[in-house]
Structure 1
Amino acid sequence: MKIIKSLLIAGSLLLGTVHAAPNDFLVSTDWLEKNISNPKVKLIEVSVNPGVFERAHIPGAINFEWHTDLVDTVRRDIVSQQNFETLLRKAGINNDSTIILYGDTNNWFAAWGAWVFDIYGVKDVKLLDGGRKKWETENRPLVAVTKIPNVGNIKVSVANTALRARLSDVVAVAEKKSNIALVDIRSADEYSGKVFAPAGVQELAVRAGHVPGATNVPWGQAVAADGTFKSVDELKKIYAAAGVDGSKPVITYCRIGERSSHTWFALKKLLGYDVRNYDGSWTEYGNAVGVPVSNPAGTVWGGK
C-alpha cells in the first residue's frame, strides 16, 4: 500500500498536479503557494470580518460568508443539504477536488466550514495552517479580483448527525447522565461567569457561567504564536492535562459554535478523538429555561 501511495505521489509530481500535502487535514502556506495554480485545488475563504475578502484575498479563492452561506438564514441551523451542494457547485468544486479552507481570526470560521463540510461527507478538505494572517505576514500574493469558476459536479451526502451535539446531549452531561467529556473553549472570564460574552458581540445569553461538568481549555492553547496548530504531541498533553485524552467521547462548545469548531478540528482531525461540536453553544444553553448552570463569579444579568 505504501509503495502504491509513493508511486501515486511521484506520478502527481511528474504530471504537475497536487504535491504531497504535509498531512491529511492541514496544508502549509508554502504548500499552498506551490499548488495554487493546480485546477484540482479549490480555495475557499471563510472570514468573519466584512470586506476582508473584497479588499484582497489569496489568488483563486472564492468567498463563503458564514452567516448566510453556511447557515439557514431563517431558523438557527446549518445550511441545508441542497443549498450546500448548490453553493459548492457554484464555487467550481468537483467530486475529485482538494478543498482548502482559510480565513481571518485564526481560522475560527474556516474551521466551522470544515465542520459543515464534514457533516455533509465532503472528502479531501483541509485547513490552511495559520490561515489568512500567516499568509499575509509572509507577504505572499494577494489579489482583489475574483474569477468566476466553471460550475462543479460535487455531490454531497445527507447530514451526518453524529458530528453534531444538541442541547439535550449537553444537559445529559450536566445532569451526570452521560459519560462524555465536555470542553468549554471560551475565555476564563466567560467560563467563570465574570462576563457574559466578549466585548462587542451581538449574540448573547441572559445567564453567565458554564455547563456543569465542563472543563475549560481556551481555544488559543491549541495554537502557536503564528496561528498554526501546535504539534500533535503538544496538543495531546494540553488536553490530557484537562482530563481529555480520547478515552471517551467529547463535546466542544463556545458561544455560537465557531471557536469550538477550531477545537473540534484539533481534537477530531489532528488527534483522532471521537468529537461532536455543539453549535448551539452558550447562546442556546445560557438562554434555556431550567437547565443546570455553574456561575462561580455570581454575575447577574441586568437586562441592559
Structure 2
Amino acid sequence: MSQYAHPEVVVDTEWLENHLHDPNLRIVEVDTSPELYKNAHIPGAVFWHIFTDILLPDLSINLDAIAFANLMSRSGITKDTTVIAYGSYPGTGGWIFWLLKLFGHNHVKVLNGGYQKWKSENRPLSPELSTFSSVPYEAQTPDPQLRVLHTEVQASMNRKNTILLDVRTPQEYSGEWFFNQPPKKNERAGHIPGAVNIEHILTLNEDGTFKSLPELKSLYESQDITSDQEIFPYCAIGGRSGYIWFVLKYLLGYPQVRNYDGSWNQWSRLSNV
C-alpha cells in the first residue's frame, strides 16, 4: 500500500485485527440495516443507519454540523478518536472518510478490502454491535474545498480543464435506470451533459481491495482524466462519488477534486437544466 499518494490513511485487515482493542479506535458499520450482517459484525463496531443518520428524507446528505456532532458524540468519538468505517458497499470506508473530513475530523482511515475481505479471511466477528457513552464533540461547518455546488457544476460544463466524472453504473448513465431501477413517470434519468462515465467499482479488485497505483492511473488516464485537471465526481446521492473523491485524492494524489454530493438526486430535479 506504500505505493499510494497517502498510504498512511489505508490499513489492511491484519492491522485492524491487531488494533481491535485500541481505546482510541472506533469502528463504524454503515448500512441500511444491521440485519444485513446476520449477527456477524466486526468486533467493537457501532452502527450508523444510512437513511436516518446520514441522509435526509429527500436522500440528500445531512450537512448540519450539529446533527453530525450528535452522531459522533453518541458513538463515543472524540476529536482524537481514529475512525474506520465499513459496509456492504465496498466503497463505504472511502465515502465516510470524505464525510468525516468534510466536518473537520482528521483521524480517519480506510480498511483496504472492507468487510468483504475481513470476512473472507475468517477474522473475528461478533454477534452484537457495541454501544458507548456519549462524549463531547464539536463539528466544524462543512469544508467548501471538499464539495462543489450545482451552480458551479453548471458553470463548469464548458470549462476545458474541468471534468464531470459520473461514477454510476452504465445503466444509470445511459438513462436505463434511475438509481437501481427503471425510471418512474416523474423521474428524469440520464447524465449531466459532457460527463465521462467510469464506474466506481472498476477501482477495486474482486476481493474488494484497491487496485494498484499503476492500474488506477491507467483507468483514469485512458479517459484523459489527469492530475492537472479539476474533477467533480458525482453519482446518485453522493456516496459513491465520495468514495471516488477518496480514490482520486488520497490514492492517486490528484490535488483538485471536489465531490458533487448533490449528484443526480439533485441535478435531475433542477428545473433549469
CA distance in structure 1 between the partners assigned to 2:123 and 2:66 by the alignment: 35
Cα offset, 1:197, TM superposition: 3.5
Letter in 2 for 1:245: T
Distance in 2 (CA, whole Å) between partners of 1:201 and 1:88 is 36
Query: Is structure 2 residue 75 aligned with structure 1 residue 91?
Result: yes
> Taking structure 1 as reference, are residues 52 and 75 closer, same or farther at Cα in structure 2, changes over 3 Å only?
closer
8 A Cα contact 2:20 2:44, kept in partner: yes
Q: How does 1:150-299 map to 2 (within 5 A)?
A: 150-174=133-157, 176-177=158-159, 179-199=161-181, 206-273=187-254, 274-291=256-273
How far the C-alpha of 1:261 sits from its partner, in A, is 1.6
Secondary structure class of the residue paired with 1:46:
strand
Aligned residue in 2 for 1:13: none
Q: Contact conserved, 2:177 with 2:183, CA < 8 A, in 1?
A: no
TM-aligned CA distance change 1:198 to 1:74, over 3 Å:
closer
Q: CA deviation at 1:268?
A: 1.6
Q: Which amino acid aligns with 2:90?
A: N
Which 10-residue stretch deviates more, 55-64 or 69-78?
A: 69-78
* Equivalent residue pairs, number: 267
Task: Pick closer, same or farther for the CA change 1:48–1:240 going to 2, 3 Å.
Answer: farther
Per the alignment, residue 3 of structure 2 pairs with none
- C-alpha deviation, 1:177, in angstroms: 4.6
Q: Is the 8 A contact 1:205 1:283 kept in 2?
A: no
CA drift at 1:250: 0.7
Which amino acid counterpart does residue 64 of structure 1 have in structure 2? W
Partner secondary structure for residue 238 of structure 1: helix
Q: Is the partner of 1:194 in helix, strand or coil?
A: coil
Does residue 127 (structure 1) correspond to residue 102 (structure 2)? The answer is no
- How far is 1:239 from its partner? 0.8
Question: Which structure 2 segments of 5+ residues have no match?
Answer: 1-5
Distance 1:205 1:117, change over 3 A: farther
Q: Which residue of 1 aligns with 2:66?
A: 82
Q: After the TM superposition, which of the residue ranges 120-129 and 142-151 deviates more from structure 2?
A: 142-151
User: What is the CA RMSD across the aligned residues, in angstroms?
Assistant: 2.4
Secondary structure in structure 1 of the residue aligned to 2:110: strand
Q: Deviations over 1:151-208 (max 9, x none)?
A: 334432221122112211221233x157411111112232223333323899x97222
Q: What's the TM-score once normalised by structure 2's chain length? A: 0.88
- The match for 1:149 is 132
Which whole-Å CA distance do the structure 2 matches of 1:53 and 1:64 have between them? 13
How far 1:54 sits from its partner (Å)? 6.8
2:14 equivalent to 1:33: no
Match of residue 106 from structure 1? 90
- Change beyond 3 A, Cα 1:169–1:195: same
Q: Which structure would you say has the larger Rg?
A: 1
One-letter code aligned to 1:66: I
Distance 1:125 1:195 in 2: 34
Q: Following superposition, which runs of at least 4 residues in structure 1 exceed 6 angstroms of deviation?
A: none
Matches within 5 A, 1:1-16: none
Tell me the SS of whatever aligns to 2:145: helix
What SS does the aligned partner of 1:252 have?
strand
Asked if structure 1 preserves the Cα contact closer than 8 Å seen for 2:234 and 2:259, the reply is yes
Q: Which segments of 5 or more consecutive residues in structure 1 lack a partner in the other structure?
A: 1-21, 292-304
TM-score, with normalisation over the residues of structure 1?
Answer: 0.80
- The 3 A distance-change label for structure 1 pair 129 and 201 is farther
**In 2, Cα distance between equivalents of 1:193 and 1:75:** 19
Task: Give 3-state SS (helix, strand or coil) of 2:253's partner.
Answer: coil
